[in-house]
Amino acid sequence: MSRSLSRSSRMLGGLWGAVAGDALGVPVEFSSRAERDRDPVTGVRGFGTYNQPPGTWSDDSSLLLCTVLSLTEQRLDLTDLGQRFVRYLTQAYLTPHGRVFDVGTATMQAIERLRSGVAPEQAGGTSVRDNGNGSLMRILPVALRFASESPEQLVAIAHRVSRLTHGHPRSQLGCGYLCLLVAQLLSGLPPRLAYEQTNQLVRSLYRDAPWRDELPVFARLLSGQIETLPREAVSGSGYVISTLEASVYLLLRSSSYEQAVLAAINLGEDTDTTACVTGGLAGVWFGEAAIPSDWLTGLARRSELDAWFSAFVSVVEQSDS
C-alpha cells in the first residue's frame, strides 16, 4: 500500500512525522535505556525533563521549521537561513511556546558565530568533536525540497546546509546520506531497497578526500546489514553516527510509523532527536495518514504547522512540475 502513496503524502508524512517524534521524545530526553525499559514510552506524555506540556517540540523542530520556511520563500539562501537560526536563539522564533529551552552546545556556538557576522558556510565547527546530530536533525526539508535534483547536487546542497552549524566532513556526509535515503523513499522505493541504493550512491559519491577518510566510520551502515545488529549495539546518543544508524536501523525493522518512533524513544538518551530523525524517515515511507491522530492533535502551534507544511509542499510540487 505504501508504494502507491502520493509524493505530497510522503512529504507531509516526513514533516509531521519528524515534529511528532520530537515532541514525544522531549519529556524523557536524557533518560537511560534501563529507565525506558522499566517504563517504556507508549504514547503522548508531558512535563518530564523540561517540564513542558504535552505536544511541545524542541530545538530540533524549531531549526527544521526555520529550514522549511526559508526553503518555501527562497530556493536556497543560506544567509536567510542563518538569520532565521539567529532569530530562533535570540528571539525564540519558531519555538512552541515563545521560549528556547533546549539547544545543543555546538549549535549554539555556531549560531553565535552567525550572529557575529561569520559567513554561513564557515559558522559550523570543524573539529572531530563537533559531530553531534544538530545538523542531521534539521536536514529533512532539504531532502524533500531537492530530491528531484541529481544525487551529486542533492548531497552538495546538504553539505552546504549542514555547515551552518556542523562543518566537519562526518556531519556533512551524514546529512548527505540521510538526504539520499529520503529521496529514495520519496520515490516509493521500499526501505530495504532504498537503503541498498543509498549505500551504492554513497560509495560512488564519496570516493575522494576528505570524504573517503570518513567512510570507515559509516562501515556499519555501508555493510548493508545494519538491521541485523542486536538492539544493545544501537546507541541513542547525540553523536551524528549513532542517530543516523539508529534511525535507519529502526526504519528497516519497523512495520509502522508508530513502532519506529516509540522504539527510537525507548533507546533512551537523546530521545527527541533520535525520534525526530526516525520519525522523518518513517513518515516519508508510511505517509501522513500513518501518524497516530492523537500524536498530532495536541502539537503546539498545530494550525501554523499545517499552514507552513502545506505551503512548503506546494512550492516543492510547483518546482518539480
Q: What is the DSSP letter of 236?
A: -
Cis peptide before 151 (omega within 30 of 0): no
CA 178 to chain centroid, in Å, comes to: 8
Residue 98 lies in a domain: no
Quote the strand ranges of 227-319, DSSP E.
none
Report the alpha-carbon distance of residue 43 to residue 280 in Å, rounded.
Answer: 17
- The CB density around residue 150, as the number of other CB atoms within 10 Å, is 9
Report the alpha-carbon distance of residue 274 to residue 133 in Å, rounded.
Answer: 9
Match 501518524 to its residue by C-alpha cell: 291
Number of domains in the chain: 1
CATH number for 159: 1.10.4080.10
Residue 84 lies in a domain: no
Q: Tell me, what's the pLDDT at 321?
A: 76
- The CB density around residue 115, as the number of other CB atoms within 10 Å, is 16
**Grid cell of 182 as nine digits:** 529520503
Report the alpha-carbon distance of residue 262 to residue 250 in Å, rounded.
Answer: 10
Report the alpha-carbon distance of residue 104 to residue 118 in Å, rounded.
Answer: 19
Residue 124 lies in a domain: no
Residue 213 lies in a domain: yes
Q: pLDDT digit string (tens) for 209-233?
A: 999 999 999 999 999 999 999 999 9
Residue ranges making up the domain that contains 309: 2-41+131-320
List residues bridging with 125 in a β-sheet: 166
Q: Tell me, what's the pLDDT at 19?
A: 98
Report the alpha-carbon distance of residue 85 to residue 183 in Å, rounded.
Answer: 25
Q: Tell me, what's the pLDDT at 3?
A: 58
Q: Position 263: which residue type?
A: A
Quote the strand ranges of 111-158, DSSP E.
none
Match 518546482 to its residue by C-alpha cell: 319
> Within the chain, which residues score under 70 in pLDDT?
1-3
Residue 87 lies in a domain: no
Residue 200 lies in a domain: yes
Q: Give the contacts of 102 (CB within 8 A, at least 6 positions apart).
A: 26, 29, 50, 58, 59, 272
Residue 21 lies in a domain: yes
256's torsion region: left (phi>0), alpha (psi -120 to 50) or beta? beta
- Quick one: which of 78, 59, 278, 247 has its CA closest to 162? 78
Q: Tell me, what's the pLDDT at 258?
A: 98
- What radius of gyration do the chain's Cα atoms show? 18
Residue 281 lies in a domain: yes
Q: Is the pTM of this model over 0.85?
A: yes
- Quick one: which of 244, 245, 237, 308 has its CA closest to 61? 308
